[in-house]
Amino acid sequence: MSANATFVLLMIGTVLSIYLAGRLAERRGRSFTVWAWTAAFIGPLALPLVFLFPNLHRRNGGPA
């Protein structure tokens, strides 16, 4: 695989992780924007980090 293809795949993965981290955080009662920016800085490592924080919906009696 060429360096250009590797770079393109890395960029697609990074953008996808930004979106997923934001949506996962939103479902867990947190801010989409804050977590999207967090994922923009630390990349795919933000995905497992979202799960380390407590789910705010369950604590407040909202949907899980």
Domain residue ranges in the chain = 3-60
Residue pair 17/47 in contact by the 8 Å Cβ criterion? yes
Residue 2, helix vs strand vs coil: coil
**Separation between Cα atoms, residue 4 and residue 18, nearest integer Å:** 21
**Separation between Cα atoms, residue 54 and residue 60, nearest integer Å:** 11
Q: Give the model's confidence band at 6: pLDDT under 50 very low, under 70 low, under 90 confident, else very high.
A: very high
Percent of all residues in the chain with a pLDDT value above 90, rounded to a whole number: 69
Q: Number of C-alpha atoms within 13 angstroms, CB side, residue 32?
A: 5
Positive or negative torsion for Cα 27, 33, 38, 39 = positive
Which pLDDT tens digit goes with each residue over 13-37? 999 999 999 999 999 999 999 999 9
